[in-house]
Chains A and B, each alone.
Chain A
Amino acid sequence: AQKVTQAQTEISVVEKEDVTLDCVYETRDTTYYLFWYKQPPSGELVFLIRRNSFDEQNEISGRYSWNFQKSTSSFNFTITASQVVDSAVYFCALSEALSQGGSEKLVFGKGTKLTVNP
């Protein structure tokens, strides 16, 4: 069965610090997809990134960067120069294909609550 582990339950940093959120996953599939979502206090899950298992290239988007390492089954997320608005719960997720082709469910980690203090 698919499993996603986010070992860090809560992280607190001061504004402008860099912070890395860890994500380790388990899957038997050879093709799979990994995601990161942000959940601010309002509750909506905001999509950040999707990465497929064949693409190990790191990705950078503004202050956000992701490091995918298949060898260690990790998909870590770094926020550079953190800001107060980055405060949220961040979920790492793994897609699991459902029996019907074309639909899948997301298996989420337990989330990491990030607090960025001014």
Chain B
Amino acid sequence: DAMVIQNPRYQVTQFGKPVTLSCSQTLNHNVMYWYQQKSSQAPKLLFHYYDKDFNNEADTPDNFQSRRPNTSFCFLDIRSPGLGDAAMYLCATSMGGLRDKSYEQYFGPGTRLTVT
């Protein structure tokens, strides 16, 4: 009964070689988020989708892109990974919809990315 699924759990890529991380959800939530968490640091939001609308954080590098082909799936593309991009990448979903109400974000297990 997994709700937010991330594949793969561990990903090794070479310096400069494009990589795609995958997230899917069974919750039918309209908001999907991608967070980056470097070692011993707090998660930091990269961007999110509200339905099909993409919202980038101001300080997210151009190297990071995202796609959401449908409600259930969201992808994180790293065009040219550098050593500094090694991190845990967490996908989360929430209901969204009401500005005066906050819904908890449900997190997936994360994908740990290693760049060699």
Q: How large is the interface on B (under 10, 10 to 19, 20 to 34, 35 or more residues)?
A: 20 to 34
Question: By the criterion CB–CB under 8 Å, are B109 and A100 in contact?
Answer: no
* B49 (CB) vs chain A CBs: closest residue: A103
Question: By the criterion CB–CB under 8 Å, are B99 and A97 in contact?
Answer: yes
The A-B contact count (CB < 8 A) is 68
Question: Number of A residues whose C-beta is below 8 Å from B?
Answer: 28
Cβ distance A89 to chain B, nearest Cβ, rounded Å: 9
Question: By the criterion CB–CB under 8 Å, are B43 and A104 in contact?
Answer: no
Q: How far is the CA of A44 from the CA of B14 in the complex (A)?
A: 25
Q: Evaluate whether A102 and B99 lie within 8 angstroms (CB atoms) in the complex, with A43-B110, A45-B90 already known.
A: yes
- From the candidates A50, A97, A103, A108, name the one contacting B42 in the complex (CB within 8 A): A108
Neighbouring B residues of A103 by C-beta, 8 Å: 31, 48, 50, 55, 94, 96
Give the A-binding residues of B (Cβ under 8 A): 30-31, 33, 41-45, 48, 50, 53, 55, 57, 88, 90, 92, 94, 96-100, 102, 104-110, 112
* A–B complex contacts, Cβ < 8 Å, 15 sampled: A31-B100, A33-B102, A35-B104, A45-B43, A46-B107, A47-B104, A47-B106, A52-B102, A91-B42, A99-B55, A100-B50, A100-B53, A102-B96, A102-B99, A103-B31
